[in-house]
Amino acid sequence: MITVAVCDDSKAMVESMKSCLEEYGKGIKHELRIFCFDSGEALLDNYSCKYDIVFLDIKMPGINGIETAEKIREKDKNVIIIFLTSLIQYALDGYKVNASNYLIKPIQKKRLKMEMDRWISELEQKENPFITVHNDSGTYKILLKSISYVETYNRNLLIHTTKGNILCYWKLRDLENKIGQYGFSRNHSSFLVNLFFVENIEKMDIRLSTGELIPIGKSKKKEFMEQLASYWGTQV
Whether CATH 3.30.300.130 fits 131-232: no
CB-neighbour burial class of residue 35 (10 A; exposed 0-12, middle 13-18, buried 19+)? middle
Domain ranges within the chain, ordered by starting residue: 2-127, 131-232
215-230 confidence digits (pLDDT tens): 999 999 999 999 999 8
pTM given for the model: 0.60
What is d(CA 42, CA 7) in angstroms, rounded to the nearest whole number? Answer: 9
The b/e string for 76-108 (b: 16+ C-beta within 10 A; e otherwise) is eeebbbbbbbeeeebbebbeebebbebbeeebe
pLDDT at residue 94, rounded to an integer: 60
pLDDT at residue 235, rounded to an integer: 46
CATH class belonging to 2-127 = alpha beta
2-127 matches 131-232 in fold: no
Residues 97, 69 contacting (CB under 8 angstroms): yes
Give the chain's residues under pLDDT 70.
88-96, 234-236
pLDDT at residue 192, rounded to an integer: 98
